[in-house]
Chain A
Amino acid sequence: QKEVEQNSGPLSVPEGAIASLNCTYSDRGSQSFFWYRQYSGKSPELIMSIYSNGDKEDGRFTAQLNKASQYVSLLIRDSQPSDSATYLCAVNDDDSWGKLQFGAGTQVVVTP
């Protein structure tokens, strides 16, 4: 059973602080990794993609990938109340290029 694991939260973060979200995956052959943001009652929105070991930065978001440890993380710098959402980690299925395996998501709450 291929799995993507995330802490469910909620992760409470003061406004202006850094939110750190973690994700582990079981499929060692996975090549593509994604972070989606999902507001309550809305659909997932792609915010970051990462394919190589190391860090990838986009604005206030940084994704970090360590394939040896089967670990991907997302940092949100200068957290804002508008960042309050559920963040979903998704991993491509090595056996199927079409399928993304999703974690259950981490709820982030940014407090003013």
Chain B
Amino acid sequence: DTGVSQNPRHKITKRGQNVTFRCDPISEHNRLYWYRQTLGQGPEFLTYFQNEAQLEKSRLLSDRFSAERPKGSFSTLEIQRTEQGDSAMYLCASSPSQSGTYNEQFFGPGTRLTVL
């Protein structure tokens, strides 16, 4: 399968614990994005990378959230001191380099986080 992959698919944790998610983009894509989606809402942008550089981070994102893409391939998203409000589907997407006006993003299956 050459699509975007995410692990784990499901994570249940207790409030206050740290969690880390991994995303492997489509191999030839150098842009990688993280979104969060709650029930009944569209995905909400969190951050994105071009290669290993983190180019933008949402102003809505708490300091408890951090993302890395150290070698420009896979990425990790860490949430420290989780809160019940962090419960959501965390989506990763990738796209090829910007070409003209195109920015087609392809999503992975997501990681569903439940904070008890």
**Bound: A49/B44 CA distance, A:** 19
A96/B41 in contact, CB under 8 A: no
Chain A positions 21 through 37: 1 when the CB is less than 8 Å from some CB of chain B, otherwise 0:
00000000001101010
Chain B positions 1-45 with a Cβ under 8 Å from a chain A Cβ: 31, 33, 40-45
A90/B42 in contact, CB under 8 A: yes
B56/A102 in contact, CB under 8 A: no
B40/A44 in contact, CB under 8 A: no
Asked if A17 lies at the interface with its beta carbon under 8 angstroms from chain B, I say no
B56/A99 in contact, CB under 8 A: yes
Asked if B74 lies at the interface with its beta carbon under 8 angstroms from chain A, I say no
Instruction: Chain B residues near A51: list those with CB within 8 A.
Output: 100-102
Chain A positions 53-110 with a Cβ under 8 Å from a chain B Cβ: 88, 90, 92-93, 96-105
Contact A105 to B42, CB < 8 A, known contacts A32-B102, A98-B55, A99-B56: yes
Instruction: Chain B residues near A36: list those with CB within 8 A.
Output: 107
The listed residue (A44, A98, A102) touching B44 by CB distance below 8 A is A102
Contact A32 to B101, CB < 8 A, known contacts A43-B109, A45-B107, A96-B56: yes
B37 to chain A, nearest CB (A): 8
The listed residue (A8, A46, A99) touching B106 by CB distance below 8 A is A46
Instruction: Chain B residues near A92: list those with CB within 8 A.
Output: 101, 103
A99/B42 in contact, CB under 8 A: no
Asked if A4 lies at the interface with its beta carbon under 8 angstroms from chain B, I say yes
A97/B42 in contact, CB under 8 A: no
Point out residues on A near B: beta carbons under 8 Å: 4, 8, 31-32, 34, 36, 42-46, 49, 51, 88, 90, 92-93, 96-105
